[in-house]
């Protein structure tokens, strides 16, 4: 074998994720594990699996559903239970929900640029977000047969990956109608990189709560402290003086479906994008060009809670350099702010962004 071929073969062998991540569809953050969707490559409402963003802290484990099992245990249940993959399919109602998952670190690179600093975490552009139809079993249906105690407080899914990824949530969130153990994504068996055979989907919360490759769920009568709610996925820094605040819900933000910076022709066209507001519903999107007046963008259905909405406006730009700004508002009356206070780990950067556009004659 030639050197080049050997090199290519090693690269394939050592790939840490399974699905192809071509540069036409995805942005490589450089970690070998984390790939964002290209915002200008989002066709319909749902994000196709071939470009759904990937965020993994360790290589995709190759799990076998035939030997896999799910254990429900902890001092918050009376009778620990073990389910097989077949049990999930055969003994529980299957539920489908459309939900957006966004990483708390989305836009971290832009956060750093705004403050003239580089954060340590994954250098996300705008692509650590995606929307899928998730089909699976309600977490509630899996917990209840184990006999949840009256003192149960928190529920913590735990992964079978190298780092045993885990992140607790309050019992009420675990019992919600739309908290699922998903087995299917956009009608296909959950792909290896997205958590096969089973992942949790925690609606409207930071992506890190939606644990992939789940093998165990702990129900606890005590608050649980783990790396992902004490060191990572917390807000720390001068504006968060008391103690690290674990991140839960995702704040309202929006996205223009153009490269950054964008190059456009001087001709009438439609500018499109998406907006997402965590557990809430986006109710309005406004835009302005070159700091002109704010105008309403039109919203396209579906308009669902805990899922993004598509918006658009018509534009006939003059040649030259322009700035597009977009601000979304949710059903709680929260609008994207102009600036976001610093936090040391670079999470939840959700201000109105100034999208640079060059228009060619």
Ligand X SMILES: Nc1nc2c(c(=O)[nH]1)N[C@H]1C(S)=C(S)[C@@H](COP(=O)(O)O)O[C@H]1N2
Chain residues binding Mo ion by CB under 5 A are: 55, 103, 207-208
Enumerate the β-bridge partners of residue 156: 218
Residue 161, contacted partner among ligand X, Mo ion, none, CB below 5-8 A by kind? ligand X
Residue 212, contacted partner among ligand X, Mo ion, none, CB below 5-8 A by kind? ligand X
Rounded CA separation 123/110 (Å): 9
Q: Is the Cβ of residue 208 or residue 235 nearer to Mo ion in the bound state?
A: 208
Q: Is the Cβ of residue 142 or residue 148 nearer to ligand X in the bound state?
A: 142
The C-alpha angle 86, 167, 17, rounded to 5 degrees, equals 65
Residue 173, contacted partner among Mo ion, ligand X, none, CB below 5-8 A by kind? none
User: Shortest Cβ contact with Mo ion: which residue?
Assistant: 103
Q: Dump strand ranges (E) for 29-140.
A: 35-37, 69-73, 81-84, 95-102, 129-138
Task: Write down the least CB distance from residue 211 to ligand X, Å.
Answer: 4
3-state secondary structure 318-360: CCEEEEEEEEEEECCCCECCCCCCCCCCCCCCCCCCEEEEEEE
Enumerate the β-bridge partners of residue 323: 356
User: Shortest Cβ contact with ligand X: which residue?
Assistant: 207
Q: Is the Cβ of residue 180 or residue 208 nearer to ligand X in the bound state?
A: 208
Residue 251, contacted partner among ligand X, Mo ion, none, CB below 5-8 A by kind? none
Task: Write down the least CB distance from residue 158 to ligand X, Å.
Answer: 8
Residue 12 has φ and ψ, to the nearest 5°, of: -65, -45
Cβ proximity of 214 and 180 under 8 Å: no
Task: Write down the least CB distance from residue 346 to Mo ion, Å.
Answer: 12
Residue 85, contacted partner among Mo ion, ligand X, none, CB below 5-8 A by kind? none
CA distances from residue 146 to 22, 86, 216 in whole angstroms, order as listed: 44, 18, 13
Task: Write down the least CB distance from residue 175 to Mo ion, Å.
Answer: 23
Residue 213, contacted partner among Mo ion, ligand X, none, CB below 5-8 A by kind? ligand X
Cβ proximity of 273 and 353 under 8 Å: no
Q: Is the Cβ of residue 33 or residue 285 nearer to ligand X in the bound state?
A: 33
**Contacting residues toward ligand X, per CB under 6 A:** 52-57, 101, 103, 159, 161, 165, 194, 207-208, 210-213
Enumerate the β-bridge partners of residue 69: 84
Contacts of 25 (CB under 8 A, 6+ apart): 37, 38, 41, 50, 51
Q: Is the Cβ of residue 108 or residue 355 nearer to ligand X in the bound state?
A: 108
Round the CA-based radius of gyration of the chain to a whole number and report it. Answer: 21
Task: Write down the least CB distance from residue 207 to Mo ion, Å.
Answer: 4
Q: Is the Cβ of residue 278 or residue 317 nearer to ligand X in the bound state?
A: 278
Residue 37, contacted partner among ligand X, Mo ion, none, CB below 5-8 A by kind? none
Task: Write down the least CB distance from residue 203 to ligand X, Å.
Answer: 13
Q: Is the Cβ of residue 125 or residue 207 nearer to Mo ion in the bound state?
A: 207
User: What is residue 260's DSSP assignment?
Assistant: S
Q: Is the Cβ of residue 345 or residue 352 nearer to ligand X in the bound state?
A: 345
Task: Write down the least CB distance from residue 196 to ligand X, Å.
Answer: 10
Identify the CA nearest to 274 among candidates 118, 43, 93: 43
Cβ proximity of 149 and 222 under 8 Å: no
Task: Write down the least CB distance from residue 263 to ligand X, Å.
Answer: 29
Residue 53, contacted partner among Mo ion, ligand X, none, CB below 5-8 A by kind? ligand X
């Amino acid at each position: 074998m030639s050197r080049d071929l050997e090199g290519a073969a090693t690269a394939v062998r050592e790939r840490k994720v399974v699905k192809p991540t071509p540069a036409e569809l995805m942005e490589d953050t450089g970690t070998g594990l984390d790939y964002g969707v290209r915002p200008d490559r989002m066709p319909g409402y749902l994000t196709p699996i071939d470009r759904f963003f990937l965020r993994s802290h360790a290589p995709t484990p190759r799990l076998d559903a035939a030997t896999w099992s799910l254990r429900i245990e902890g001092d918050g249940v009376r009778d620990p239970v073990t389910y097989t993959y077949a049990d999930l399919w055969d003994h529980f109602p299957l539920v489908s929900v459309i939900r957006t998952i966004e990483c708390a670190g989305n836009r971290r690179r832009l956060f750093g640029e705004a403050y003239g600093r580089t954060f340590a975490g994954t250098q996300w552009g705008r692509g650590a977000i995606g929307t899928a139809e998730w089909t699976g079993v309600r977490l509630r249906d899996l917990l209840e047969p184990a006999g949840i105690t009256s003192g149960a407080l928190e529920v913590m899914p735990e992964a079978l990956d190298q780092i045993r990824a885990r992140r607790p949530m309050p019992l009420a969130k675990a019992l919600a109608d739309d908290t699922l153990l998903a087995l299917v994504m956009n009608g296909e068996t959950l792909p290896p990189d997205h958590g096969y055979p089973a992942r949790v989907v925690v609606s409207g919360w930071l992506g890190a709560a939606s644990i992939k490759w789940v093998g165990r769920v702990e129900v606890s009568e005590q608050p649980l402290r783990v790396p992902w709610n004490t060191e990572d996925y917390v807000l720390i820094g001068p504006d968060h003086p008391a103690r690290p605040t674990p991140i839960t819900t995702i704040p309202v933000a929006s996205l223009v479906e153009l490269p950054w910076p964008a190059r456009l022709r001087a001709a009438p066209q439609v500018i499109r994008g998406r907006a997402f507001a965590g557990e809430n519903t986006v109710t309005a999107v406004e835009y302005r060009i070159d700091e002109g007046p704010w105008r309403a963008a039109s919203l396209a259905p579906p308009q669902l809670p805990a899922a993004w909405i598509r918006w658009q406006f018509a534009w006939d730009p003059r040649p030259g350099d322009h700035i597009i700004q977009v601000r979304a508002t949710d059903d709680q009356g929260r609008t994207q702010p102009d600036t976001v206070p610093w936090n040391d780990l670079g999470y939840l950067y959700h201000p109105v962004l100034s999208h640079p556009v060059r228009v060619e004659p």
